[in-house]
A and B are shown apart, each in its own frame.
Chain A
Amino acid sequence: MPEQLIFGMEVFLNGLMAGVLYALVALGFVLIYKASGIFNYAQGVMALFSALTLVGIMEGQVPFGHLVNAIFGTEIHGFGWHVPAFAAILLTMGVMILLAWCVQRFVFRDLVGQEPIILFMATIGLAYFLEGVGDLMWGSEIKKLDVGLPQGINAVIDETTFEWFGYGFFIDNLDIVATIIAALLVAALVVFAQYTKQGRAMRAVADDHQAALSVGISLSFVWVMVWSVAGFVALVAGIMWGTKSGVQFSLSLIALKALPVLMLGGFTSIPGAIVGGLIIGVGEKLFEFAVGPLVGGATENWFAYVLALVFLVFRPQGLFGEKIIERV
């Protein structure tokens, strides 16, 4: 087999797995959008915030330690204990639920019925706010996150592909685990939305706020729940990306990667988020592999956006979105 093709296959596989992670972040967007019509720009910052909180709890950091030190001239640095990963994840989830409640109570309760674009801008404000709070709470230096996920090259795939093609594929164990977890999470969310009472309530609210209200569904409960689920998805994404490249500001930028996924897949479609994620993951890796060297590289920065933009001009509602009918 020609060498280029084999490299291309490796790139394809890696792209597929990156795509699953994009899909995971995109899923968080879709959930909130479906249930509340809010396009949540802060999803990426929520991932960052959850990862920061997780590291902070595991390392026994004192929240707002820096701030306290600055104000009172103290020298607090940590509680001096270490929390096991599992307990820390549970605690972090608690924090995310609290956050969901706060967001609902202090931001969106007062914005119900506003135009979508106003809500969108509010979530940009929320992203800035949350980023500031996260940094103030836990400090802004790059942190290492290790919750015991396997890392490093997968020996089995390396050896098998070496036997087949005479070239060992480099595939990270973490990516494989992430793919499996993401797939499970997606399945769980679909089951949750389709078959549980809460899921039905969520879909009812998504369909028509007022009708849902009139049959006795608590809007604020559903919204807090949805934001909590989105917080959970953010936590999972934060753990994956945090383990991979350290917990730092750039983590919040994965949200920016998820946006073109949504444009491609349609804002309201869970399968759309998954397919869109895979297309973008594979597309940008292959494009960088094939065209990148000719134009100076780093095409991953914009490829997804330009692809989505071109696509949208021809199909404004995305791959799986509902067709828009205009009325007067």
Chain B
Amino acid sequence: MFYREAGDFKTSYKDDNQTFPIKFDRYRYYAVLFVAFALVPFIVNDYWVNAMLLPFLIYSIAAIGLNILTGYCGQVSLGTGGFMAVGAYACYKFMTAFPEISIIVHVILSGGVTAAVCILFGLPSLRIKGFYLAVATLAAQFFLVWLFNRVPWFYNYSASGQINAPERTVLDIAVTGPNTDAWAKYMFCLVFLTFCALIARNLTRGTIGRTWMAIRDMDIAAEIIGVNPLKAKISAFGVSGFFVGIAGALLFAVYLGAAEAGDSFGITKSFLVLFMIIIGGLGSIFGSFAGAAFLVLLPVLLKNVLVGMLGWPTDLAAHLEFIIVGGLIILFLILEPHGLAQLWRVAKEKLRLWPFPH
């Protein structure tokens, strides 16, 4: 009986425009924030943070980024891995070149650099559309990974060809490097995710979000009613690149600690993030979270059940994961192209009317 809009009247357009118009949703949102910021940091251990929470937080940022480009603006990108690499290597260069500046600034700047690179590779989207563009973004993927592998300046001429994150602190607490506490890593990424999600939500519900969706739904008509396609597509590539770059920087600096472009940011990364938004829901910020959570948890679950409990060899579990992920992608595209987020919306709709069917 609690999930109702009856009696919750909106008296201004400002109230009507807010993110969670239904009171219960609003309170639940505050509760989630409270748990994430005030409870979780005190109870987590290394395993939880490294196996689940960190990848979830970081991939959520990447998924939000790709969702803006693909889900909102309709431009499919298979270059996410390459763009994450840009974020990672930019962050590495900033960290080593300007050690006196805060890591927070480094990460944000990495996002900016990635946005610029993303815009550069997005320029052809003005001429080519659909899967031509999807394939064209593969050019970015392969070229960028090659660049970071082959040009020694990017990895500071290290003998291994790897980049390693030096120790950096925020408020005298280490957030990168080998001696970092699990909760510190978690909090650092959580803060970034929260800000990214808020920005993404604000952008997608406003003017620029509408131009993106207009381009996605019918690009020719959008141009005729006054959407500048150059501005819409370039801004989508830029904003998307900003988030993806931040995700790449965090993945390298906080989560992996050391990275090599081919291994850490290969084409499988591009597909992983794409799958997250398909399963989670195209064109939905919540869907980005849901998809990231699902694809981060699935391997952990399979490993624990199949390998840990049933004693199967690890490679069998990995193959089964491929089958499940591939099968789910097809299933979601057939049954629910809007992903988990749509299932969630439908459930809420039902709950709102419960116990009546309509």
Complex contact flag A–B (Cβ < 8 Å): yes
Residues of chain A within 8 A of B135, CB atoms compared: 259-260, 262-263, 305, 308
B315-340 interface bits toward A, Cβ cutoff 8 Å, 1 = contact, 0 = none: 11001111111111110011001000
Picked from A136, A299, A305, the residue with its CB within 8 Å of the CB of B320 is A136
Picked from A111, A118, A301, A309, the residue with its CB within 8 Å of the CB of B136 is A309
Q: Does B274 count as interface, using CB distance less than 8 angstroms?
A: yes
Q: Does B224 count as interface, using CB distance less than 8 angstroms?
A: yes
Q: Does B308 count as interface, using CB distance less than 8 angstroms?
A: no
In the complex the two chains form, is A259's CB within 8 Å of B329's CB? no
In the complex the two chains form, is B322's CB within 8 Å of A129's CB? yes
- In this complex, how many residues of chain B approach chain A with their Cβ under 8 Å: the count is 51
* A296-B150, A312-B128 known; A125 vs B220 contact (CB < 8 Å): no
- In this complex, how many residues of chain A approach chain B with their Cβ under 8 Å: the count is 50
User: Roughly how many angstroms separate A308 CA and B132 CA in the complex, as a whole number?
Assistant: 10
Name the distance in Å between B71's Cβ and chain A's nearest Cβ.
12
Name the distance in Å between A43's Cβ and chain B's nearest Cβ.
13
User: Roughly how many angstroms separate A121 CA and B339 CA in the complex, as a whole number?
Assistant: 13
Picked from A128, A132, A306, the residue with its CB within 8 Å of the CB of B139 is A306
In the complex the two chains form, is A121's CB within 8 Å of B220's CB? no
In the complex the two chains form, is A124's CB within 8 Å of B322's CB? no
Q: Does A51 count as interface, using CB distance less than 8 angstroms?
A: no
In the complex the two chains form, is A305's CB within 8 Å of B143's CB? yes
Residues of chain B within 8 A of A262, CB atoms compared: 135
Q: Does A328 count as interface, using CB distance less than 8 angstroms?
A: yes
A-B pairs with beta carbons under 8 A, tally: 142
In the complex the two chains form, is B132's CB within 8 Å of A117's CB? no
User: Roughly how many angstroms separate A327 CA and B221 CA in the complex, as a whole number?
Assistant: 10
User: Roughly how many angstroms separate A114 CA and B333 CA in the complex, as a whole number?
Assistant: 10
Residues of chain A within 8 A of B150, CB atoms compared: 295-298
B244-279 interface bits toward A, Cβ cutoff 8 Å, 1 = contact, 0 = none: 000000000000000000000001000100110010
Name the distance in Å between B143's Cβ and chain A's nearest Cβ.
4
User: Roughly how many angstroms separate A78 CA and B221 CA in the complex, as a whole number?
Assistant: 61
A47-84 interface bits toward B, Cβ cutoff 8 Å, 1 = contact, 0 = none: 00000000000000000001100110000000000000
In the complex the two chains form, is A308's CB within 8 Å of B322's CB? no
Q: Does A5 count as interface, using CB distance less than 8 angstroms?
A: no
Name the distance in Å between B307's Cβ and chain A's nearest Cβ.
10
In the complex the two chains form, is A136's CB within 8 Å of B326's CB? no
* A122-B329, A125-B329 known; A117 vs B128 contact (CB < 8 Å): no
Picked from A259, A297, A312, A328, the residue with its CB within 8 Å of the CB of B127 is A312
Name 6 interchain pairs, CB-CB below 8 A, sorted by A: A111-B334, A118-B337, A125-B330, A306-B143, A312-B136, A316-B128
